[in-house]
Amino acid sequence: MLLFASVADRAGTRRVELPYVAGDTVASIRARLLERFPQLAAAVPTLMYAINEEYARESDPVPAGATLAMIPPVSGG
């Protein structure tokens, strides 16, 4: 799982390896992440997600070995 910007700062890391369980979705992996980093819960309402560099929904299945990213509200430009 890749973390960026405000989320990386809150977690104190930019990369987290998480165990994978068959049938995992973005939401189930996020729940596992929040157990380790409860301080990220406040960010959840505005978070977007990406699976292998494509925007994904919370309910989307995550393939084994996928790179999941948490995308806080973007502010490029």
Partner 1 sequence: MLIRVTPDELDTAEAIQAAGSPAAGAINVFLGVVRDNNLGRRVQYLEYDAYPSMAEKVMRELAVEAKERFALEDCAVLHRTGRLEIGEASLLIAVSCGHRAASFEAGHWLVNEIKKKVPVWKKEVWEDGEAWVEGPESLGIQQAPASMR
Where does this chain bind partner 1 (CB under 8 A)?
2, 4-6, 8-9, 45-48, 50, 53, 55, 69, 71-77
Smallest CA-to-CA distance from 72 within 52, 45, 53, 38 is with 45
Interatomic CA distance for residues 76 and 58, integer angstroms:
23
Q: Nearest approach, Cβ of 28 to partner 1 (angstroms)? A: 20
Number of Cβ within 10 Å of residue 29's Cβ equals 22
Instruction: State the minimum distance, in angstroms, from the CB of residue 55 to partner 1.
Output: 8
Tell me the closest approach of the beta carbon of residue 11 to partner 1, in angstroms.
Answer: 13
